[in-house]
């Protein structure tokens, strides 16, 4: 894996709240963020005293390497957003410039926290569907903008293995969004839910307060 293949694009705690991934009721839970990337959510929750661990392949790289990649990719992503503005809901965020500013601010918070978080193992180089954690290490595991979103890149089998691994280490799993990169419901969603329910897991689709990508306003909650 090369850093050039990674697109760092982090979100903040307010967005995780709006997506339904984190609520006040989760304050005393042990949390695992899968694929958090350069999001500021770990740094923000840590300041609140919340026990959170984030995993991502990007954490194999240094702060300087990630920062360089953030600068490079933010310009490309901004241009892509301008070319595809009709695919997004410009309600809470006025325009592309405001969005990029919000993302860069979140990633700056992440970068300032990164080295300390690596020392305390809050940021760990891990990759689904294989985690090193013991069973029931966490109360809650989430995935933001990874599972289901990249349905063309990750097949149904990968989704099942990844979610079962998350359920092995955590009592509850939350996933947002449920659409793919084409703004349509992931073709893996129904087969994955059917499989999980047959295995005895409780699955529930929940409408959230968050919609930036058109049609992406649902979160999947899975409880064992």
pLDDT at residue 96, rounded to an integer: 92
Half-sphere exposure of 23 (CA within 13 A, CB side): 6
Task: Using the predicted structure, report yes or no on whether residue 42 has a pLDDT greater than 70.
Answer: yes
For range 72-100, the mean pLDDT:
89
Domain count, the chain: 1
pLDDT at residue 3, rounded to an integer: 46
Task: Using the predicted structure, report yes or no on whether residue 80 has a pLDDT greater than 50.
Answer: yes
Q: How far apart are CA 157 and CA 189, in angstroms?
A: 12
Which of 29-43, 94-108, 166-180 shows the lowest per-residue confidence on average (mean pLDDT)? 94-108
* 11-23 pLDDT, tens digit each: 999 999 999 999 9
Report yes or no: 129 and 162 within 8 Å, Cβ to Cβ.
Answer: yes
pLDDT at residue 4, rounded to an integer: 52
Q: What percent of the chain has pLDDT over 90?
A: 85
| Percentages (nearest 5) of helix, strand, coil residues in the chain | 40, 20, 40
User: E-assigned strands of 125-211?
Assistant: 138-144, 170-176, 202-207
Other Cβ atoms closer than 10 A to 86: 7
Nearest-CA neighbor of 110 among 147, 69, 139?
Answer: 69
pLDDT confidence tier of residue 1, bands split at 50, 70 and 90: very low
Task: Using the predicted structure, report yes or no on whether residue 54 has a pLDDT greater than 80.
Answer: yes
Q: How far apart are CA 92 and CA 119, in angstroms?
A: 36
Q: What is the CATH number of the domain that holds 209?
A: 3.40.50.150
pLDDT confidence tier of residue 77, bands split at 50, 70 and 90: confident
pLDDT confidence tier of residue 210, bands split at 50, 70 and 90: very high
Which residues, other chains included, contact 210 with Cβ-Cβ below 8 Å and sequence gap of 6+?
15, 18, 19, 20, 176, 216, 217
pLDDT at residue 79, rounded to an integer: 87
Q: Residue 9: which domain range?
A: 3-223
Geometric angle at alpha carbon 45, from 154 and 181, rounded to 5°:
25
Q: What percent of the chain has pLDDT over 70?
A: 97
Mean pLDDT taken over the chain: 94
* 115-165 pLDDT, tens digit each: 999 999 999 999 999 999 999 999 999 999 999 999 999 999 999 999 999
pLDDT confidence tier of residue 175, bands split at 50, 70 and 90: very high
């Amino acid at each position: 894996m090369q850093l050039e293949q990674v697109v760092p694009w982090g979100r903040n705690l307010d967005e995780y709240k709006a997506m339904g991934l984190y609520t006040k009721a989760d304050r005393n839970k042990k949390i695992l963020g899968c694929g958090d990337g350069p999001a500021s959510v770990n740094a923000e929750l840590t300041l609140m005293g919340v026990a959170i661990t984030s995993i991502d392949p990007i954490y194999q790289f240094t702060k300087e390497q990630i920062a360089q990649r953030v600068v490079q990719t933010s310009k490309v992503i901004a241009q892509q957003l301008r070319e595809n503005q009709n695919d997004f809901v410009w309600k809470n965020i006025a325009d592309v410039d405001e969005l990029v500013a919000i993302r860069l601010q979140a990633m700056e918070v992440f970068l300032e926290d990164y080295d300390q978080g690596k020392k305390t193992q809050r940021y760990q180089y891990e990759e689904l569907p294989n985690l090193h954690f013991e069973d029931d290490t966490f109360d809650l595991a989430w995935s933001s903008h990874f599972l289901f979103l990249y349905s063309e890149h990750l097949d149904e089998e990968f989704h099942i293995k990844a979610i079962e691994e998350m359920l092995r280490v955590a009592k509850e799993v939350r996933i947002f969004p449920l659409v793919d990169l084409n703004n349509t419901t992931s073709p893996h969603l129904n087969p994955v839910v059917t499989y999980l329910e047959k295995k005895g897991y409780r699955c529930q689709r929940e409408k959230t307060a968050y919609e930036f990508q058109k049609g992406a306003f649902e979160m999947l909650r899975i409880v064992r």
